[in-house]
Chain A
């Protein structure tokens, strides 16, 4: 039996749980596949449970490789989850939804224009004023003539549910800064690769053209006098719950992803702060920061995410914000009961797409109804998203509502439709909602033909997603019904070089180098410890100790009592251990996330490899797994080197290398400290040999000096050799070259001068003096390494000061009372 047949059979059995009936998206009441699935039947029905398990694993691999994450509010990001079975909607079913969504967006836009303008809806009692004035999303600084905007709503999203009768109902509207388009296009990308036959045969609307329309819509939003508008995506940062979505939208549209601190207002205009102190005016901001956090001057004063003066810039018409700063009012469920009347009043049409039945408690009759039905209605506050009131005691709810009735609504709980979803080797039904996206394109609103489906747990919490396939009525229909939209390429987009992004790229370079060097030393140590673990007093055992000490100098922390293996595992896996590989990779990922718009997608594949190597190590406790996982991590790091090798030679690329070579120099001075003590000839030889292995210079050494290792020649190769890419002098010379290539280089910036001095100093090192002994130690070498180390740290500070200085911090006008 195949998975889908099993599913259909199971559905026909009477349920034991007593759960009410739901509309099934795939199987009709007669047990046969619904019309939308008929064309896919042959391929889909043949999928077995093990096929689905394989697809599921492949999807996970794709999503891990792309670094797709989602965080629920207040939690750490987890992997994004995508079910292999798409939600399929036929052209005939979609058509009424499309007109309904377009009308709804038109209506919501008109409501927005009215509430921030003449407020006719309030004056004529179409919408009770409490619903608007009592909502935190009503942004009064935008309710002025100067802020008037005829199209404040450019992208609307809605969550819909399908009831038992198969008709769609809007559960809520999203207008503040709708998320999900980035996830929807990622879902499509992945599903089209793991289900290529089904995808090809389905005859569905591709979503790519929607992105071109989206970009065009943003361009249309700009002042028509601006020829080539500068558009940016304003993000709250990489710790936002939908950071992936924001970055993916930015990258897909070819727009720079910026933060509030990357922008500044001058003379009522918004500028992108660029590297080297120059500025470029911004014409359109695709906003992913909630309005209240967008302007510390006139909105929330405690926000560090916004741009001081942004509201004023909007009122002067120098910048357009998508969606307008006031759009959050539309997410108010208190509006839902009044939409039909508003539609009649503003559009002269009846509302096509119904909203979920909602009672606004500010109305006495509705209040009575809600209070009498607390058991079967969902109670929501009008301006607090989320389900915080779900599961509260009815008595508690009654008290909340009656104290401030205008702040609450009661909503019918729709029995959502269900769809077959992969779980435990087969398909089982899961309830779902559909998120749609509607775009103001030209003079009309157009929904994306497709969307994002969310699966819900029993407690109503989203657990995974599905791709949404809307089939074409006719194979020749244009994708998204769009003809003549110019495809855009990301190449056309002008990159924005903000100091913050350069800072992230510099650290990206540093963490790549740090990870590589730590891994190499760790692998060397592990190989040695394998041989000598049981003989701590032997030459090999003592050399292992020396290497472990070096590793701890690099990574910090102290030797674990639980033995070498435990220590090496912790160095690879413990994200809380400073200097561990896990911590470096996590910091590296943070840097990459925040400049996601500038990096190749392949970067995320490397992170996927790290993750798999970590999982393997957690799963297997053999010693050889340490070497295996560390080796794979090293490969992933080398792949990152390769990827950055293919980048355009711009300031960002140079910054990665500045960071990389600087880190290499710092790591090297630490590693060379292994050679400052004499421990006996056999141990020293072994340590020096391992040092060469860890520095990836064994072959070069042998070619140059033969097989016999001695301190002077090893130091020659690792400190001063101008041709060995693993030597300190080489690293410093490369660093100097990249610093000199930066646009802001004058040849004598402070970092350049410091580095010139350091290079001169190193070039003059007398190797014979350096290795000379005083008792069992080499004081000259120690002194020299300390000196280099100190100068490198001074250099690091100088680079930060010259290249990444973001200007003084933002503070309130009045500070703590001074003397």
Chain B
């Protein structure tokens, strides 16, 4: 499917900002099943410095600095993206999940790189509760695809999607306790579950195209950025991407922007300002419009 993705972040400050540095992961990645054209990032006010470079994980990272005084900062990215259904290697997914532990098979191609995603990361520390929870899905000898999808299904069932149930500082433990969260929390929880059993899993940020309710017009800007998880499949270049928020494998309605060990590696936008301002308001508008 083809989409035009549009993502705008607006900060308003109570006092002028004299210097603003930002780093963003805003431009969808080029992948075997995803083609990106006319990507663009614009910043208002006009930045004194704006560059893009591929980061350690192959994502396109935008760096900018605004040096003119401002009380409003607007960062807008847009791109046309064509997405195919990823061609998952079903035979590989049918192998026992235990064989997908990269540390246990250093000889398998790609295993040494996958190790990075099998270890705890800053926002996904080890969790005994997550390990125990996942053990019910990761039964001995169970096929990888089936085990992982079962875990996804259980998370979808056992946890409530609830905006405001968590904050940016919430941990996997909080989510386990509250049994509620948003897509980022479910992605982190999935990572914690899989990594605690030695599997390699990465955090993926991007967008999901949604249909308007029947009989309604599409509302521009009402979409949101999304996040999910993907697990390493030995012998395959394509990681199995699963969306616990929507209980489905990631298909051609998902636009992949960036991946890393957790949210901290790939936030859409983060930065540092120099200002006497003490409060700000944040507005995020996302639109994923189908293109014919």
A binds B: yes
Residues of A within 8 A of B (CB): 119, 122-123, 125, 128-130, 133-134, 140-141, 143-144, 146, 264-268, 296-298, 301, 308-309, 312, 315, 362, 403-404, 406, 807-819
Could you say which of A123, A141, A812, A817 contacts B56, with CB atoms under 8 Å apart? A141
Known contacts being A309-B65, A817-B279, is A812 close to B271, with CB within 8 Å? yes
CA distance A403 to B196 in the complex (A): 10
Known contacts being A125-B106, A265-B65, A406-B119, is A815 close to B112, with CB within 8 Å? no
Residues of A within 8 A of B53 (CB): 144, 146, 315
Q: Is chain A's binding surface mostly helix, strand, loop or mixed?
A: loop
| CB closest residue in chain B, given A406 | B119
Known contacts being A129-B115, A807-B18, is A813 close to B281, with CB within 8 Å? no
Residues of A within 8 A of B273 (CB): 810-813
Could you say which of B22, B115, B272, B280 contacts A810, with CB atoms under 8 Å apart? B272
- Find out whether the CB atom of B279 lies under 8 angstroms from the CB atom of A815: yes
CA distance A406 to B106 in the complex (A): 15
State how many residues of chain B have any CB contact under 8 Å with chain A: 47
Residues of A within 8 A of B279 (CB): 815-819
Residues of B within 8 A of A814 (CB): 11, 280, 282
Interface string of B272-292 (1 = CB under 8 A from A): 111111111110000000000
- Find out whether the CB atom of B63 lies under 8 angstroms from the CB atom of A813: no
CA distance A808 to B69 in the complex (A): 12
Can you name 16 A-B residue pairings with CB atoms under 8 Å? A119-B112, A125-B112, A140-B55, A140-B265, A144-B54, A267-B49, A267-B65, A308-B21, A309-B63, A406-B103, A406-B119, A807-B274, A812-B271, A815-B278, A818-B279, A819-B279
The 9 closest A-B pairs by CB, nearest first: A818-B279, A813-B271, A129-B115, A815-B280, A133-B116, A308-B272, A140-B56, A129-B112, A143-B56
B39 at the interface (CB under 8 A from A): no
- Find out whether the CB atom of B103 lies under 8 angstroms from the CB atom of A130: yes
Residues of B within 8 A of A141 (CB): 55-56
B210 at the interface (CB under 8 A from A): no
CB distance from B266 to the nearest CB of A (A): 11
- Find out whether the CB atom of B120 lies under 8 angstroms from the CB atom of A129: no
CA distance A406 to B272 in the complex (A): 34
Q: Which of B48-91 contact A (CB under 8 A)?
A: 48-49, 51, 53-57, 63, 65, 67, 73
CA distance A266 to B20 in the complex (A): 11
Known contacts being A144-B53, A266-B67, A403-B126, is A813 close to B116, with CB within 8 Å? no
B23 at the interface (CB under 8 A from A): yes
Supplied contacts A129-B115, A143-B56, 4 more A-B pairs, CB within 8 Å: A134-B120, A266-B49, A266-B65, A818-B279
Residues of B within 8 A of A (CB): 11-14, 18-23, 48-49, 51, 53-57, 63, 65, 67, 73, 103, 106-107, 112-113, 115-116, 119-120, 126, 265, 269-282
CA distance A141 to B269 in the complex (A): 16
| CB closest residue in chain A, given B53 | A146
Residues of A within 8 A of B282 (CB): 814, 817
CA distance A315 to B56 in the complex (A): 12
Residues of B within 8 A of A140 (CB): 55-57, 265
- Find out whether the CB atom of B275 lies under 8 angstroms from the CB atom of A811: yes
CA distance A301 to B267 in the complex (A): 13
| CB closest residue in chain A, given B12 | A818
CA distance A815 to B22 in the complex (A): 14
| CB closest residue in chain B, given A136 | B122
CB distance from A262 to the nearest CB of B (A): 14
- Find out whether the CB atom of A122 lies under 8 angstroms from the CB atom of B265: no
- Find out whether the CB atom of B274 lies under 8 angstroms from the CB atom of A809: yes
CA distance A298 to B260 in the complex (A): 14
- Find out whether the CB atom of B65 lies under 8 angstroms from the CB atom of A813: no
CB distance from B31 to the nearest CB of A (A): 19
Residues of B within 8 A of A406 (CB): 103, 119
CA distance A533 to B42 in the complex (A): 79
- Find out whether the CB atom of A818 lies under 8 angstroms from the CB atom of B281: yes
Could you say which of A268, A403, A817 contacts B49, with CB atoms under 8 Å apart? A268
Of A122, A267, A808, most buried by chain B (CB within 10 Å of CB) is: A808
- Find out whether the CB atom of A123 lies under 8 angstroms from the CB atom of B280: no
CA distance A403 to B22 in the complex (A): 37
CB distance from A363 to the nearest CB of B (A): 10
CA distance A140 to B116 in the complex (A): 11
CB distance from A290 to the nearest CB of B (A): 16
CA distance A812 to B280 in the complex (A): 10
- Find out whether the CB atom of B48 lies under 8 angstroms from the CB atom of A266: yes
Residues of A within 8 A of B18 (CB): 807-808
CB distance from B21 to the nearest CB of A (A): 5
CA distance A130 to B113 in the complex (A): 10
- Find out whether the CB atom of B13 lies under 8 angstroms from the CB atom of A815: yes
| CB closest residue in chain A, given B274 | A808
- Find out whether the CB atom of A811 lies under 8 angstroms from the CB atom of B119: no
Residues of A within 8 A of B57 (CB): 140
- Find out whether the CB atom of B21 lies under 8 angstroms from the CB atom of A129: no
- Find out whether the CB atom of A808 lies under 8 angstroms from the CB atom of B275: yes
Of B11, B53, B65, B112, most buried by chain A (CB within 10 Å of CB) is: B112
- Find out whether the CB atom of A813 lies under 8 angstroms from the CB atom of B277: no
Residues of B within 8 A of A144 (CB): 53-56
Residues of A within 8 A of B103 (CB): 130, 362, 406
Could you say which of A125, A129, A810 contacts B113, with CB atoms under 8 Å apart? A129
CA distance A816 to B12 in the complex (A): 11
CA distance A819 to B279 in the complex (A): 8
CA distance A811 to B277 in the complex (A): 9
- Find out whether the CB atom of B269 lies under 8 angstroms from the CB atom of A813: yes
- Find out whether the CB atom of B272 lies under 8 angstroms from the CB atom of A811: yes
Of B49, B107, B120, most buried by chain A (CB within 10 Å of CB) is: B49
CB distance from A149 to the nearest CB of B (A): 15
CA distance A406 to B101 in the complex (A): 15
CA distance A816 to B13 in the complex (A): 10
| CB closest residue in chain A, given B57 | A140
- Find out whether the CB atom of B270 lies under 8 angstroms from the CB atom of A813: yes
- Find out whether the CB atom of A298 lies under 8 angstroms from the CB atom of B119: no
- Find out whether the CB atom of B272 lies under 8 angstroms from the CB atom of A813: yes
| CB closest residue in chain B, given A404 | B126
| CB closest residue in chain B, given A131 | B115
- Find out whether the CB atom of A133 lies under 8 angstroms from the CB atom of B115: yes
- Find out whether the CB atom of A817 lies under 8 angstroms from the CB atom of B281: yes
Residues of A within 8 A of B265 (CB): 140
- Find out whether the CB atom of B116 lies under 8 angstroms from the CB atom of A129: yes
Residues of B within 8 A of A128 (CB): 106
Residues of A within 8 A of B272 (CB): 296-297, 301, 308, 810-813
- Find out whether the CB atom of B277 lies under 8 angstroms from the CB atom of A134: no
Residues of A within 8 A of B275 (CB): 808-809, 811
CB distance from A446 to the nearest CB of B (A): 33
CA distance A144 to B51 in the complex (A): 15
CB distance from B190 to the nearest CB of A (A): 20
Could you say which of A143, A808, A813 contacts B22, with CB atoms under 8 Å apart? A813
CA distance A395 to B271 in the complex (A): 44
CA distance A129 to B105 in the complex (A): 12
CA distance A276 to B270 in the complex (A): 31
- Find out whether the CB atom of B278 lies under 8 angstroms from the CB atom of A816: yes
CA distance A812 to B278 in the complex (A): 10
| CB closest residue in chain A, given B73 | A813
CB distance from B268 to the nearest CB of A (A): 11
Of A143, A404, A815, most buried by chain B (CB within 10 Å of CB) is: A815
